[in-house]
Amino acid sequence: MVALEHDSQFLTRRGAVLIVIVALHIFIFWALATGLARKAIEVLAPPIQTDIVQEEQKKFEPPPPPPPTFEKPPVEVPPPDVTIDMPVETTQSTAITNVTTKHVEAAPAPKAPGVKTPAGPGKGFPNSEDYYPQASKRLGEEGMAVVGVCVDPSGKLTGAPTIAKSSGSPRLDEGALKLATAASGRYKPATEDGKPVSACNSIGIRFQLR
C-alpha cells in the first residue's frame, strides 16, 4: 500500500509538470501566431539595440577634418636707401696734366715726290732713214716699232734693247733694234730732281718712205 501511494504522488507531480510544459508551448505558439511575442521583444529590445547601433556608429565615424590653415602673404620690405661716398682720387688730374703739358714732336711731313723726266733720244741720235731695210723699201713696208731701252746716267745702254710693240714687219723690227743699239751713248738719261739716274723707257722708231 505504501508503494502504490508513493507512485501515485510521483505520477501526479509528473503529470502536472507535463501539463505546465504543454501549456507553456501552447502559449508560445499562440504568442508567435498572434505577434504578441514580437511586440514584447520590440518593447524590450529597442533601447539595447539603439545603444549598440549608436556606439557602433560612433566607433566607425571618421575623425573630423583638420581646420584649414591660412598662410600669410610675405611682406616685402623695401631695401634701405644707402648712399656711399667714394673718395675722389686727385692723382688722375695730375697724370692728365703731365700728359697734356708734355711736348709731343710732330711727325715729319711726307717728302714731296721729286720731279722726274724719262730717258729718250739725245743729241746726235741716229736717223731712222740710215737703218731702213732695203727690202722693206722695195716692198713699200712702213711702220713704227716700239723699243724698250735701259739707260744709265751717262746715256749709255745697260742692256740689249727689246721690242715692246712690233711694227708688223720683222724686217722693220730688226732695223729698229739696230738703230737703238747704235744710239748707245747718245741717249738723254732720265733725271730725278734735276740729277741723272738710271732708268728704263720705251721709244718709238718710225720707218716711212719719202
Q: Give the tens place of pLDDT for each residue, 180-209.
A: 999 999 999 999 998 999 999 999 999 999
- Please give the pLDDT value at position 132: 96
Structural domain harbouring 26:
2-60
pTM of the model: 0.47
- Please give the pLDDT value at position 39: 64
Q: What is the DSSP string of 44-71?
A: HHHHHHHHHHHHHHHHHSPPPPPPPP-P
Q: 53 with 125, same domain?
A: no
Listed residue (115, 111, 112, 122) closest to 153, CA to CA: 122
- Please give the pLDDT value at position 14: 76
Cα 85 to Cα 79, 82, 88, 152, distances in angstroms:
18, 10, 9, 79
Q: 203 with 120, same domain?
A: yes
State the total domains in the chain. Answer: 2
Q: 45 with 123, same domain?
A: no
Q: Give the tens place of pLDDT for each residue, 61-106.
A: 666 777 666 566 666 666 655 555 565 555 554 444 444 445 556 6
pLDDT over 70 at 131, yes or no: yes
Q: Give the tens place of pLDDT for each residue, 29-57.
A: 777 777 665 665 665 555 544 444 455 55
Q: 54 with 124, same domain?
A: no
